[in-house]
Structure 1
Amino acid sequence: MQASEQPVLRDLVLVGGGHSHVVVLRMLAMQPEPGLRITLICTDVDTPYSGMLPGYISGHYSFDDVHIDLGRLAAFAGACFIHGEVTGLDRANQRVLLKGRPSVPYDLLSINTGSTPNVRQVKGAQAHAVPVKPIAQFNLRWLTLLARVRELHSRFTIAVVGGGAGGVELVLSMQFRLRNELQQLGRNPDLLHFVVLTAADTLLPTHNPSVCARFARVLKERHVAVHTRAEVTQVSPGCLHTQDGRTFDADETLWVTQAGGPVWLQSTGLALDEHGFIKVNDRLETLEDPKIFAAGDVASFTARPLEKAGVFAVRMGPPLAKNLRLSLRGQPLVVYRPQRNWLALISTGDRFAVASRGRLGFAGAWVWRWKDSIDRRFMRKFNELPAMAQGSPRAAAPASSLALSAEESRQAISALAMRCGGCGAKVGASILTRALGSLQPVQRDDVLIGLHSPDDAAVVRVPPGKAMVHTVDFFRSFIDDPYLFGKVAATHALGDIFAMGAEAQSATAIATVPPGLEAKVEDLLLQMMTGAVEVLNAAGCSLVGGHTGEGRELALGFAVNGLMDEDMSGVMRKGGMRPGDVLLLTKPIGTGTLFAAHAQHAAKGRWIDAALQSMLVSNQAGAQVLRAFGATACTDLTGFGLLGHLVEMTRPSGVDAELQLRALPVLDGAVACVQAGIVSSLQPANVRLRRALRNAEAFVQDPRYPLLFDPQTAGGLLATVPADRAAACVQALQTAGYPHTAVIGRIRGASDALEPVVLTP
């Protein structure tokens, strides 16, 4: 997480990762707005570029060729990326409502979620048809269809409902790819049959007659059946029903028509058109609320109707970015003037394309190459980010650069002033009271004084026959999402308690938050501590108090108390390894290198998303399984890395360990990051432990070797179990929610060698 020199003065929230918003993010990255915090909320980590989707379906492009990495782009722009689902707006309090997490405040909001075929309006379509949008969900169904076709041995009909450019491109691209797949497998491609149904009188009704006629010829030559004036009114298993009573066989139905806005817009009070799209004026503002903008397919331009085409979404980006800046500064907005005629380059699936602009139309393989060049140039703007902007701090600027109220200006000046130390660095009591007032820590009978009745200190009873287990962890934020950071910090802090075989009882927090406007500091605390308390509550651990102070960077830690039997009968220690035991690891490794790469904008967003999901998996259930299977030793992987923690176990146990390098479960992207030379700042200190390896020189070139020293945050459990219980234990751990659990080695008797760890392939 890039620390900012400037207190947060304003919140800009972007809902959706559409074409307009990726342009806005890049423009704000290249010229940051001082004091502005940007939050991007999207259901997908990778957003597809619609212009290249047909080429992806045809097999001409890879997944990465046609997708913009929103996580990486957001990091480049200094934005907080929330991988989540919007459920509505609280316009009175200026908050975006989210599923399963706290709402997010905005001073300015922009919506660019695209459109979705409205399958709910046609009976059976939602259950039996595949909408082409959202494209990310369509891709999963497309890959399933691809696998299904590869196993074909009988006739199979694919129907596309919708005869616009999108539907025609889709059917031709699918036909080209799927026939080629069958031919390469030595199967008969004529098993596949394709049909297009459209309610219109003609194909591509928004294009000129010559373009329509050309595509009609192409479809006929490719033996694609076309049915016009065929409005589909019902979809049943294997069959389409039209308004005039006709039926058509369809083993798979793709839906590319009747698009509408997302359902959650209906409850916002914003003016919507008949299709559920947001009405906007010529400055891209919503008609009722000047604090909310919309662009792309989700916007209904009131000045004149616009086709739902990517070209408009892309060209809305620059004026939208400019108007967002101007609105934040309290200055007059500029007018967006869409072009009357635009160039559409429509592919036929086989590296051939047709150009359509007004009355003009021309075609050829050269047109496809031209389109390919344009599309790749557009994608390079987002996938080859300028090095000059990476890691650049937010420039400081006077509060007057944004339109602030008199009270906000006073707070901003205070936030920019030299900060006090000592108790003067504490966060104000009123801010703390408001931020923490909505938290509901789990109630425990053995917590006598805690947050429910705050005092100078918490008072916790130690039940008879129990011993107290203490641990503490603290680190600065490495991601821009405070809610997720709170969850990770709490999960990490609880790890030591579970690794010892204890139950968590109570926790005291220590937090550092950057200075800023009171409302911004309050919300930051609320987001972070909500995430933390959710994790603590799930573990039955009561938050009983803490301390919060100001600092340059967001940071959070916990002192956690746990309980175990006084006779220590159930304790799991590091030093219990025995020769013959099997060595297990419950989570994949690689968080250190991945988040080092994330800080350099060199990690793919989906790698970071998967790493966070792994980090959020609690070790509580895993420890319980290990205890049930008689684990002889256990620890949780954290900053010392796999080798460091393994040495901590072998030395007190008086044994040696055999470690299978290729058996290590590894997070996606971790190997690629270390091969690129990107490692954590703690890695060099951990590498000094290579002297514990007996035969390191034989494995230095192995791509997984550097990951032995990779520091982990909220890592898995490293444990040994008796060999005769290992297989059952692994299966139980995988069933309990640790799917990457693996046997990674065995324990040997101690040797005379000074190096206790032996690597094996």
Structure 2
Amino acid sequence: MKTIILVGGGHSHLYCLKKHIQKRDENVRWILISPSRHQYYSGMFSGYTEGIYPLEETRIDLERLCEEAGCDFVASAVLSIDPDQQHLLTDKGDIFTYDFVSFDIGSRNDSMEIEGLHEHNLPIKPNYRFPEQIEKLHNSRKTVFIGGGAASIEMALSLKAWKVDNGYGDHSVSVVHSSPLLKKAGSFSSKKITEVVSSKEITLYDGRVEKVDGTHVFTEDGASIDYDEVIFLGGPKAPPLFASSILPTDAKGFLLVNSYLQSVEYPNVFGTGDCATLKDFPDVPKNGVTAVRQGPVLWKNLNGAAAKGKIIPFEPQKRYLAIMSIGDKKGFLTYGSFSLVSRWAWRLKNWIDERFVGRYGG
């Protein structure tokens, strides 16, 4: 009997578990290893922060989904992988042997490049840490977000909306960014989102963060920003697991995979979502849209590899629809260089998010 191990409860692995409910191969044993029974859906992080969704509506019960799928669930974190011996070591000291393994473990919201950040940053990843950290942000009188991308802006706007709605409008929320907001969406969208952020009385600091100590964030331009909580959302950072293994990675430490989502040197090791970089398409965004689209390809390729059959390549989209929540049930929609602000955009996002969680049993 072949053994396929899924490490992490990310979007692609959820798809595989759901498909396994519909189509099982009794000659293959499936195992899911994840540090938490619940997988929190990142698309609803902003809505939970703003107080729109209760906690139970933002998460998926991995253990229950595994039970339905006939898959073994192991509540552990994988500490190391030996791809030659095909072994995984967990934080509980257990060793698992696999024929095929797939990693969908997300990324870190941290940066070792900023002096002092690691000691003072509020980590919301792995995402099972998210709920307790949001409570800290709600209580913070002075919150600083580092990063000018969608994750940082969306969280800042959602937190500010919660503060205003709950009578804490005097609490400051700041965003420090070293490049234009939403730079990859183009100058038009960047200007529009900057106007939105400014209109919400969120303070913007244009500069690269150089150092963080216990009370202040310092930029290379000499700005000193007082804070109670600081959170880095300046783009995904590679999980440490791959750096401590012999698996090939890109220059930033992400698992390097080919178009079939296989490690470039170990074809029985797969990787999807934020934790992996496509060798032929290194600029594909590490976001939920990519991870969701990789799910069907991963499912076919894991089964195809186990049966010594056909596998298929993943073909990235050139453009994709993205919707940010900007507070007060309004959405900021982008598609290529096009963007707009509207309530129907938020309703569309809400429908997509609730449908996603509902698909996997909540």
1:280 lines up with 2:257 in the alignment:
yes
Q: Which has the higher contact order (CA 8 A, sep 6+)?
A: 2
Partner of 2:181: 203
- The within-5 A match list for 1:679-690 is none
Distance 1:243 1:96 in 2: 42
Q: Shift in Å at residue 72 of structure 1?
A: 0.9
Report how many residues are paired. 361
Q: Shift in Å at residue 307 of structure 1?
A: 1.1
Which stretch of the first structure deviates more once superposed, 158-167 or 301-310? Answer: 301-310
Partner of 1:193: 172
Aligned match of 2:310 in 307, 324, 332?
332
1:238-273: CA deviations, max 9, x gaps?
A: 200112332111121111025322212112211111
Partner of 1:159: 144
Aligned match of 1:169 in 147, 151, 154?
154
1:45 lines up with 2:24 in the alignment:
no
- The within-5 A match list for 1:153-302 is 156-181=141-166, 183=167, 189-200=168-179, 202-228=180-206, 230-302=207-279
Amino acid at match of 2:353: D
Partner of 2:130: 138
Aligned match of 1:77 in 44, 49, 69?
69
- The within-5 A match list for 1:312-711 is 312-383=290-361
Distance 2:136 2:340 in 1: 35
Is contact 1:232-1:243 (8 Å) kept?
A: yes
For 1:131, what is the secondary structure of its paired residue?
A: coil
Is contact 1:208-1:356 (8 Å) kept?
A: no
Distance 2:129 2:68 in 1: 26
Distance 1:245 1:270 in 2: 40
Amino acid at match of 1:249: D
1:215-259: CA deviations, max 9, x gaps?
A: 11111111111122x111211112001123321111211110253
Q: Shift in Å at residue 33 of structure 1?
A: 1.7
Is contact 1:132-1:255 (8 Å) kept?
A: no
Amino acid at match of 1:55: G
Distance 1:269 1:66 in 2: 35
Aligned match of 2:113 in 115, 121, 130?
121
For 1:55, what is the secondary structure of its paired residue?
A: helix
Q: Shift in Å at residue 127 of structure 1?
A: 1.6
Aligned match of 2:103 in 88, 111, 115?
111
**4+ residue segments displaced more than 4 Å:** none
Distance 2:327 2:64 in 1: 30
Which 5+ residue runs of structure 1 have no aligned equivalent? 1-8, 150-155, 184-188, 385-761
Q: Shift in Å at residue 361 of structure 1?
A: 1.4
Distance change in 2, residues 1:128/1:355 (3 Å): same
Which 5+ residue runs of structure 2 have no aligned equivalent? none
Aligned match of 2:289 in 311, 320, 325?
311
1:667-686: CA deviations, max 9, x gaps?
A: xxxxxxxxxxxxxxxxxxxx
- The within-5 A match list for 1:23-102 is 23-102=15-94
Is contact 1:88-1:97 (8 Å) kept?
A: yes
Amino acid at match of 1:97: L
For 1:356, what is the secondary structure of its paired residue?
A: strand
Distance 2:195 2:164 in 1: 19
Distance 2:83 2:199 in 1: 54
Is contact 1:119-1:258 (8 Å) kept?
A: no
Q: Which has the larger radius of gyration?
A: 1
Q: Shift in Å at residue 91 of structure 1?
A: 1.8
Is contact 1:196-1:225 (8 Å) kept?
A: yes
Distance 2:296 2:135 in 1: 34
For 2:174, what is the secondary structure of its paired residue?
A: strand
Is contact 1:160-1:253 (8 Å) kept?
A: yes
Distance 2:110 2:228 in 1: 21
1:20-68: CA deviations, max 9, x gaps?
A: 1111111122111221111111112111111111111111111111111
Distance 1:169 1:55 in 2: 10
For 2:128, what is the secondary structure of its paired residue?
A: helix
Q: Shift in Å at residue 131 of structure 1?
A: 2.7
Is contact 2:110-2:121 (8 Å) kept?
A: no
Distance 1:44 1:61 in 2: 20
Distance 2:56 2:130 in 1: 16
Amino acid at match of 2:261: L
For 1:109, what is the secondary structure of its paired residue?
A: strand
Q: Shift in Å at residue 120 of structure 1?
A: 3.0
Distance 1:117 1:51 in 2: 16
Amino acid at match of 2:250: D
Is contact 2:104-2:271 (8 Å) kept?
A: yes
Q: Shift in Å at residue 178 of structure 1?
A: 2.1
CA RMSD of aligned residues (A): 1.4
For 2:314, what is the secondary structure of its paired residue?
A: coil
Distance 2:84 2:52 in 1: 48
Is contact 2:114-2:210 (8 Å) kept?
A: yes
Distance 1:27 1:122 in 2: 42
Q: Shift in Å at residue 332 of structure 1?
A: 2.8
